[in-house]
Structure 1
Amino acid sequence: MKIKDIAIIFILLLFAAVISCQVVTGQQLQRRGIITPGSLWLDNNRNTIQAHGGGIILVGSTYYWFGEDRAQGLDPLYKYVGCYSSEDLVHWTFLSKIKFAAPKGFDPHHWVLERPKVYYNRKTKKYVMYFHLDDARYKAAEIGIAVSNDVDSGYQFVKHFRPFGMESRDIGQFIDDDGTAYLIFESRPTHGFVIARLSDDYMSVEKKMCLVKEPLEGGALVHYKGLYYVIGSHLTGWNPNSNVYATAKKVSGPWSPFKNMAPSETNTYGSQSTMLLKVTGTKKATVIYMGDIWKPAAQWDSRYLWMPLKIGKGKLWLPKPEPWEINIKTGFVKFANK
């Protein structure tokens, strides 16, 4: 064997060792209550968390995380939504794989369920799930709704439709400080996305609040210190891009011009927006960017990029990812390397 070949093998082995150490370090930090963006994230059973394109709700003192389950070996005739619970946003307990069959009129071998979002209605005591429902060619472009009495099981498919007669693909969820629930959906023919208010029982899309005229997907929204901040991703498929943000005094707009939320050359550190999660503590409110790092050739291994944002006075910025922890009670964030 030539010296050059030996050198190449040595470099590859060294690289593999470094990657292995990074994974172990991420898991060790998780056990200490630290989130490592982009690292392998495990549930209580030591399985990779499957909650892609997901959303989070807070019921009492418990957070529930729902998202697409893209694990290997699933029955291709069904679509699965992963459901997890946590008290601290770091350690997640697996609750269930919520299974859905294709709705009537959809080919059971070729249909799509993406970006599930669950709302808890305190009046009806129901859990209402919205999701992007489509055919394999993405021509249906509809919203699907399922409902349950329990957070992690018993979801019954209710209906599917195009909201206001408009195409709907990527969806996002937002619950305002006054408890009003909204749905965000991308409507490609309009070259924008819609922010819509849900009905009191959350079972229908009641009022179109505004059309944000920007061709974006992965829409997410948060209300912070008197301003609304909306973020979105450009239309580049699985490939990451430079996500952007805008602000408004009202959810109905008008919205400011969009600006980059991270250095453009980073492509949002390889991620795509899925949700803005506000943790309101006794001392501080922290807004967490929830993003997906997609791996189209190995979707089961797609990762999550969560980072606290620098936000306020009309500006929003995603810092360079690094390990961090949050005190749920106070809302304060600490960085592991500082």
Structure 2
Amino acid sequence: MTQHPSSSPALNERHGDFVAHPYDSILPGQVWLDTDGNRIQAHGGSIIEVDGVFYWYGENKERTTPGSGLWHWGVRAYASTDLYNWQDRGLIIPPVLEDITSPLHPAQKMDRPHIVFNERTGQFVCWIKVMGEDDQHTQASTVLTADSFLGPYETVRTGLRPLGMDAGDFDLVVDPGTKKAYYYFEKVHTDLVCAELTDDYTDVSGAHTLHFPHPGPPFTREAPAHFERDGRHYLVTSSTTGYFPNPSEIAVADDYHGPWTVLGNPHPGDQSRTSFRSQISSVFHHPSRRDLYIALADRWLPQLPQEMPNVFDVVAAMARGESEPRSGDGGAAVAAGLGENTAVADYVWLPIRFDGDVPIIEWVDEWRVEDFD
């Protein structure tokens, strides 16, 4: 990456061991600072373009340190025109602190916000997953709307169990032609569901299909990320192993509702089978680069040792009642989780290339948007 001197004192302000300078490339897995010199906090994130400006938004984990008891500190957004340099636009959905029962209270474990624009209503619609204080057993959704992307957002639904199901990780998709919206979510912990939304995008209509049935973690598919290319639909999913990285899986179909054909691991060059130690949260198609699709991923636990055993294999073996495989200190790291300090989680953004219709994600230390048509 080339770094240029800046005339802006804010850009040259020192924060810890890092100094923020303008970026002119993307460096996967490296610490990424905003234009004020702070770590970017937009985890489980997505990108939306509004009036020629890119907005990257996601979970604000700045206070989610070991022992804090805080799962999040709201939804934070950043603005950019080049995808390299990001200006902090603040908390577009702040935490609610005065009411512990609010789905936006940090104790209720909100995560993975997704925002889409409804052309019919002229509103931005945000869905969030809320795990609740008892974590994985009563997951529900909260829906908010706003007249501007930056808010303020008004809560219009809480405690929503779509189709009477507990809803986990998800993605929202709007068909560019029909403007019909689809909601891909993990039915905890069994299938992946494709549900159609109502015309205002704030509820499910009832029409839905079930896909990828599995007996339970770690086999259940979660973190669905949908994208479309040349009329074909793709879904990237993760195994259910918490914050520990595992091999991704990608499937293809000719329709939003499938049927889906599993193509396998989109990271064939990753010998560790950990998706380059990350979990994909969404796929962004650059609006002015015909074939640039970017897999946006979180490296939730950058402190994990690189030589740790593949966690999917570890959990799968334990689920079968076998002894936990160990390699150096890796097994202990899996058990301890090293405190799960997601406040220092990094990002792994990689371009997707296509071998015919097969998406492939390869590791590169540095890449530029300008290198793509």
TM-score w.r.t. the length of structure 1 is: 0.82
What amino acid does structure 2 have at the position aligned with 1:240? P
Q: Which moved more, 1:255-264 or 1:53-62?
A: 255-264
- CA distance 1:109–1:252, shift in 2 (3 Å): closer
Partner of 1:162: 161
List per-residue Cα deviations over 1:123-177 (Å, max 9, x = no partner): 3221211010121222221111111222223112221211111110112222333
2:256 matched residue in structure 1: 251
Aligned-pair CA distance for 1:270: 0.3
Q: If each structure's strand is expressed as a fraction of its own residues, which one has the higher value?
A: 1
The 5-angstrom pairing of residues 275-286 of structure 1 reads: 275-281=282-288, 284-286=290-292
1: distance between equivalents of 2:72 and 2:259? 41
* Residue correspondences, number: 303
Which runs of structure 2 are paired with 1:100-115 in the superposition (5 Å)?
Answer: 100-101=95-96, 104=101, 110-115=107-112
Whole-angstrom distance in 1 between the partners of 2:120 and 2:106: 37
Does 1:134 find its partner at 2:128?
no
Question: Which residue of structure 2 aligns with residue 325 of structure 1?
Answer: 368
2:76 is the alignment partner of 1:82: yes
* 1:232 shift after superposition: 0.3
Match for residue 275 of structure 2 among 263, 268, 272: 268
- Correspondence list, 1:305-324, <5 A: 305-311=348-354, 313-324=356-367
- Contact 1:125–1:149 (CA under 8 A) maintained in structure 2: yes
Aligned in 2, Cα 1:291/1:76: closer, same or farther, shift over 3 Å?
Answer: closer
Residue 238 of structure 1: SS of its match in structure 2? coil
Residues 209, 251 of structure 1: 8 Å contact kept: no
- Match of 1:68? 59
Identity percentage over the alignment? 25
Let me know the Cα RMSD of the aligned residues: 2.6
CA contact (8 A) 2:279 2:298 kept: yes
**Equivalents in 2 of 1:56, 1:107: separation in Å?**
21
Shift of the 244–107 alpha-carbon distance from structure 1 to 2, 3 Å rule, reads: closer
> What SS does structure 2 have at the residue aligned with 1:110?
helix
Please give the residue correspondences for 1:1-338 in structure 2 after superposition, counting only pairs within 5 Å: 31-72=22-63, 76=70, 79-97=73-91, 98-101=93-96, 104=101, 110-138=107-135, 139-160=137-158, 161-178=160-177, 179-189=179-189, 191-214=190-213, 215-263=220-268, 265-266=271-272, 267-281=274-288, 284-295=290-301, 297-311=340-354, 313-327=356-370, 332-333=371-372
Give, as a single letter, the amino acid of the residue that structure 2 aligns with 1:134: M
Matched position secondary structure for 1:35: coil
Q: C-alpha separation between the residues in 2 aligned to 1:292 and 1:128?
A: 23
- Structure 2: which 5+ residue stretches go unaligned? 1-16, 214-219, 302-338
TM-score, normalising length from structure 2?
0.74
Q: How many Å separate the matches in 2 of 1:107 and 1:88? A: 31
SS in 1 for 2:193: strand
For 1:261 and 1:299, how far apart are their aligned partners in 2?
25
**Counterpart of 1:239 in 2: which secondary structure?**
coil
- Name the amino acid aligned to 1:217: E
Q: Is the 8 A contact 1:176 1:223 kept in 2?
A: no
Could you tell me which amino acid in structure 2 is paired with residue 303 of structure 1?
A: D
Q: Read off the aligned partner of 1:188 and give its amino acid letter.
A: V
The one-character-per-residue Cα deviations of 1:64-103 (angstroms, maximum 9, x if unpaired) are 1110001138995974111111112111111111213257
